[in-house]
Amino acid sequence: MMKLYYAPHTCALASHIALEDAGAEYSIQRISFAANEQRTPGYLAINPKGRVPSLVTERGILTETPAMLAFIAQTFPKARLAPLDDPFRFAEVQAFNSYLCATLHVAHAHRMRGTRWADDPAAIAAMQRKVPDSVGACYELIENRMLRGPWVMGDTYTICDPYLFTVAQWLEGDGVDPARFPEVRDHRQRMSERAAVRKAIAEELAEELA
């Protein structure tokens, strides 16, 4: 059985939803960022990056959301979470997820994780001020050029959808008005009505309150 290490309100939710979508048997283990648990020797032995998510499988441990999502899709092919037999379509899925990971998530991270890239408090504050712009620019592109609708890749639900839904949770916190991006907003709403999404969120919330 797989085990997903996650923290609430992080990108780990994407893999959590995908595990649900796949019908996988898995457990979840919360890492408390408030307690800095991601930097403990125990967790660093699991993921030396000190980040979430991590997915413990019977073969070993995986990290990095785009890699984990593709792994879940390939491990549970019956769930049809990616166009596994079409390298071009699969690459389109992967390109979308890579953009979320390396551009959108990175823009977002400048709000809370500025110390990764500067030491000066004034510089960190300057980064925070630009987050609404830089994150907003990502959503401009997603809204107008990338999100085909009703799902990210068009008529077929894929591993792009839980990932977009997950990062779109951060819109308001990043100072970006969802009303500017009706396609993204509608996608978020559409996702929030899915049973797998409700279950994943409820599980994370239940552990948080436990």
Closest C-alpha among 168, 154, 156, 155 to residue 197: 168
Of the pair 129, 180, the CB lying nearest a copy of itself is at 129
Residues that bind a copy of itself (CB under 8 A): 48-49, 57, 59-60, 62-68, 70-71, 74-75, 87-88, 90-92, 94-95, 97-99, 101-103, 105-107, 110, 116-120, 122-123, 126-127, 129-130, 134, 141, 145
Q: Which amino acid, one-letter code, is at 190? A: R
Distance CA 210, CA 208 (A): 6
Taking the complex as a whole, the smallest distance from the CB of residue 44 to a copy of itself amounts, in Å, to 10
Contact 114, 54 (CB under 8 A): no
Of the pair 91, 206, the CB lying nearest a copy of itself is at 91
Taking the complex as a whole, the smallest distance from the CB of residue 81 to a copy of itself amounts, in Å, to 12
**Cis omega (within 30 of 0) on the bond before 150?**
yes
Of the pair 128, 194, the CB lying nearest a copy of itself is at 128
Taking the complex as a whole, the smallest distance from the CB of residue 95 to a copy of itself amounts, in Å, to 4
Report the Cα 3 to chain-centroid distance in Å: 17
Taking the complex as a whole, the smallest distance from the CB of residue 64 to a copy of itself amounts, in Å, to 4
Query: What are the residues whose beta carbons fall under 8 Å from the beta carbon of 106, sequence distance 6 or more?
Result: none
Closest C-alpha among 20, 9, 12 to residue 200: 20
Of the pair 87, 182, the CB lying nearest a copy of itself is at 87
